[in-house]
Chains A and B, each alone.
Chain A
Amino acid sequence: MKKVTIFFLLLIFVLTAFVSVSQLFVVPKGWPKPNYDFSKNPLSKEKIELGRALFYDPILSRDNSISCASCHNPYNAFANANHQLSLGIEDKTGSRNAPVLVNLAWEKKFMWDGAINHLDMQSLFPITHPDEMGEQLDHVISKLKGSTIYPRLFYKAYQDSIVTGEHLLKAIAQFMLTLVSSNSKYDSVMRHQAVFSNQEKNGYQLFKKNCNSCHTEPLFTNHEFENNGLPINKILKDFGRMKVTGLAIDSLKFKVPTLRNIQYSSPYMHDGRFTRLQDVLKHYTLGIQKSSTLSQKIQQSIVLTSNERVDIIAFLLTLSDNSFILNPSFNFAKHNLYQ
């Protein structure tokens, strides 16, 4: 009898330990396996907190003026509010629209053209690009080493106060991995905890017929690069993925973005050319420009009445996740500065 009790106590102990670790990252029910290899960067509360502090700290930029959050604002699903193109130090303008940071653990490649091959390596781009943070990596490391906060936070996270590039990048990646959005009305409906309105339901049917092949559920992206028929901007002359691969077949292809929290992430497209969702829908029905690399999935015109377009937008708004936007553990953490 005693043995049985001890066994169960042990079992409960093991299970609770497991739950407390796995709660740092939970794969929502029915979702695919994340692409990120967590075994190479096991999550811990302290590492996530370090990454979060770094994410909100302008120390990463050359003149200490902007942070990751300057272009990736939590209240815009970590996109850039109202700016078509991202703004860097000294009012420099980048060439693309800052995307949302949502469900990154499932992404395979990063940036609109997939130039970055791993989430760990993503933050190197904005830190070093002259039109973004314009900083030198060795200078970032020496600034962090000399700060009054970071050696302590690095020690808490890695039991080593020495700031290294590996630890810096992995900590920022850990924070970004926690940015999971899976509690929209759409998710509640899928879990049979809510129902769509008639308009949303109609929008969902139309969405599945016309949009789902690229914006595939449940992540609302197929993680591919596609040419969605946008006419090229004559000033930016951005040919997308072709710049990375050097292949003509990749001309005008950009990463298919997730549609989750699209309500908060205006403006839209790789260059932020559309401000309103109705403009986006208008593009897909009336504005597609044919070219040799146009996505196979939109070779046949998408025909939608103006009412049907409104219904699709009603459905897209069900992808808004307030618990994600307002999650306090995603916001700037003052306590990191004073602990």
Chain B
Amino acid sequence: MKSGIATIIVFFTINTVVLFAQTTSNRILNFQPKFGNEDLQLIEAVYTTKNNDSIWIDVFKCYVSNIALLQNGKVVWQEKNSFHLINSAEQESLRLMLQTPVALTFDAIQFNVGIDSVTNVSGAMGGDLDPTNGMYWTWQSGYINIKLEGRSNKCLTRNNAFTFHLGGYQFPYNALQKVMISIQQNEKINIVTDIQKFISSIDLTTQNQIMTPGKSAMFLSNQFSTIFSELKQ
């Protein structure tokens, strides 16, 4: 009698595991930092902007959160506890595993660039949200949504440096950006992040250092949200 029950339990457990394995999978979401058509290489590579200025990128990091997949404008899958720190200097951070159903069809992906205001006021958290990751303002609480640092002859600053630490969660300077892009490839999602699009939208001579929340941070965050697109095969 007892062994009978055990067999049934084992049978069902195996069944559930098999079913689970069949219906969900690790769908890869891959971010590919680029500068125009070239793969982004930090610090050493020199790029040319549309105005023929030289530019180097030293740091490129941002938060991607609340990832969802959509079909015909309706959310068909949503990632739970969805907070990812994307860092161009760390290859593994650019490759996310989404636990989605295998048979899922979708035509768009949606996510936030940055950290929402509720999470911003919820105290210390771990993993990608650990405030010691260098993406948190310590003198005035708040996550830094985007860090982009580099050099350009356009910047008449020390070492020709430009520094953008963009964020802010409090009204009226909430810099969080919602991004939605259409997707054709369903098996593996490849997203390009083209820094050139951001750089060409601003004048580095006049705007080369933003490190506090405010109007400029909001404007630049909005410009930044346009750099994402699906990789054209």
A residues near B (Cβ < 8 Å) are 37, 40-41, 115-121, 124-125, 127-129, 137-138, 140-141, 164-170, 173, 244-246
Contacts and interface: CB of A to CB of B under 8 A. Distances in A.
A118 B132 contact: no
Given A121-B138, A124-B138, A164-B132, 4 more contacts: A118-B122, A121-B124, A165-B124, A245-B170
B214 interface: yes
A169 B120 CA distance: 15
Nearest to A37: B123
A173 B123 CA distance: 10
A137 B131 CA distance: 9
B126 A164 contact: yes
Nearest to B169: A117
Chain A interface, >50% SS class: helix
Nearest to A121: B141
B139 A120 contact: no
Given A41-B123, A165-B132, A246 B142 contact: no
Interface in B145-198: 170, 173
17 contacts: A115-B141, A116-B140, A118-B124, A120-B123, A121-B123, A121-B124, A121-B131, A121-B138, A125-B138, A127-B138, A128-B139, A137-B138, A138-B132, A140-B132, A164-B126, A165-B133, A168-B132
B124 A120 contact: yes
Contacts of B53: none
Given A127-B138, A244-B140, A117 B120 contact: yes
B13 to A, nearest CB: 28
Contacts of A140: 132
Contacts of A129: 138-139
Contacts of B129: 166
Contacts of A119: 123
A50 B144 CA distance: 28
A56 B173 CA distance: 37
Given A117-B142, A121-B141, A244-B140, A137 B121 contact: no
B141 A169 contact: no
B136 interface: yes
B59 to A, nearest CB: 15
Contacts of A168: 132
A166 B138 contact: no
A32 B136 CA distance: 31
The 7 A-B pairs with the shortest beta carbon distances in the complex, nearest first, are: A165-B132, A120-B123, A120-B124, A124-B138, A166-B126, A117-B141, A169-B124
B125 interface: yes
B106 to A, nearest CB: 33
Contacts of B141: 115-118, 121
Contact of B131 (A115, A169, A244): A169
A246 B214 contact: yes
Given A117-B141, A125-B138, A137 B123 contact: no
B130 interface: yes
Given A117-B142, A129-B139, A137-B138, A124 B121 contact: no
Contacts of B170: 245
A41 B122 CA distance: 11
A166 B134 contact: no
Contacts of B120: 117
A117 B136 CA distance: 12
B139 A137 contact: no
Nearest to B121: A117
A252 B139 CA distance: 19
A137 B133 CA distance: 8
Contact of B130 (A40, A127, A164): A164
A332 to B, nearest CB: 24
A114 to B, nearest CB: 9
B124 A137 contact: no
Contact of A137 (B122, B125, B134): B134
Q: Count chain B CB atoms within 10 A of each CB in A37, A127, A166, A173 and give the residue with the most.
A: A166
A166 B142 contact: no
A37 B129 CA distance: 18
Nearest to A126: B138
Given A118-B141, A119-B123, A166-B125, A124 B136 contact: yes
Contacts of A127: 138
Nearest to A171: B124
B176 to A, nearest CB: 16
Nearest to A115: B140
Given A165-B130, A246-B214, A118 B121 contact: yes
B54 to A, nearest CB: 31
Interface in B93-143: 120-126, 129-134, 136, 138-142
